[in-house]
Structure 1
Amino acid sequence: RPQHPPIVGAAAAEEAATNVRSVAPATEEMASSVDEISRQVQESSTIASAAVDQARKTNDRVGELARAAARIGDVVELINTIAGQTNLLALNATIEAARAGDAGRGFAVVASEVKALAEQTAKDTGDISQHIHGIQAATRESVGAIKEIGDTIGRMSEIASTIASAVEEQGAATREISRNVQQASSGTTQVSSNIVDVQRGAGETGSASSQVLSAAQSLSGESLRLKTEVGRFLDSVRAA
Structure 2
Amino acid sequence: MAGITTSISQSSGNADLVAAAADEMHTTISEISKNTKIAEDISLKALDKTMESNKEMDEFSKTADAIEKTAETIKEISEMTNLLALNATIEASRAGAAGKGFSVVANEIKELSKQTEEATVQIKKHIAHVHQTSSKANHSMKEVTEILLQTQKIISSISIALQEQTSATREISVNIENLSTMLIEINENVGESSQVSNQISQDIGLVNHASENISSSSSKLDKNLLELKDMSVQLKRIVDKFIVN
Provide the TM-score with structure 2 as the length reference: 0.75
Q: Select the structure with the greater relative contact order (CA < 8 A; seq sep ≥ 6).
A: 1
Counterpart check, 1:127 vs 2:122 = yes
The CA deviation at 1:196 is: 9.6
* Residues in 1 aligned to 2:17 and 2:156: alpha-carbon distance in whole angstroms: 34
- 2:19 is aligned, of 13, 16, 24, to 24
Deviates more, 1:54-63 or 1:30-39: 30-39
What does 1:207-218 align with in structure 2 at a 5 Å threshold? none
- Amino acid in structure 2 at the alignment position of 1:152: I
The CA deviation at 1:43 is: 2.0
Contact 1:42–1:161 (CA under 8 A) maintained in structure 2: no
* Residues in 2 aligned to 1:167 and 1:34: alpha-carbon distance in whole angstroms: 6
* Residues in 2 aligned to 1:51 and 1:187: alpha-carbon distance in whole angstroms: 53
Task: Tell me the secondary structure at the aligned position of residue 84 of structure 1.
Answer: helix
Percent of aligned pairs sharing the same letter: 35
1:15 equivalent in structure 2: 10
Contact 2:29–2:166 (CA under 8 A) maintained in structure 1: yes
User: Deviations 1:38-89 (Å, cap 9, x if unpaired)?
Assistant: 2222222222122111100001001111101110111111011101111111
- 1:166 is aligned, of 161, 164, 167, to 161
What does 1:145-156 align with in structure 2 at a 5 Å threshold? 145-156=140-151
| CA RMSD after TM alignment | 1.7
Counterpart check, 1:99 vs 2:115 = no
1:189 equivalent in structure 2: 184
Structure 1's unaligned 5+ residue stretches are: 1-5, 199-240
| Runs of 4 or more consecutive aligned structure 1 residues displaced over 2 Å after TM superposition | 193-198
* Residues in 1 aligned to 2:90 and 2:38: alpha-carbon distance in whole angstroms: 77
* Residues in 2 aligned to 1:196 and 1:40: alpha-carbon distance in whole angstroms: 51
* Residues in 2 aligned to 1:189 and 1:17: alpha-carbon distance in whole angstroms: 8
1:35 equivalent in structure 2: 30
- Amino acid in structure 2 at the alignment position of 1:109: V
Deviates more, 1:184-193 or 1:115-124: 184-193
Pick the structure with greater CA Rg. 1
> Closer, same or farther in 2 for the Cα pair 1:80/1:177, shift >3 Å?
same
What does 1:17-96 align with in structure 2 at a 5 Å threshold? 17-96=12-91
* Residues in 2 aligned to 1:154 and 1:62: alpha-carbon distance in whole angstroms: 20
2:199 equivalent in structure 1: none
Provide the TM-score with structure 1 as the length reference: 0.76
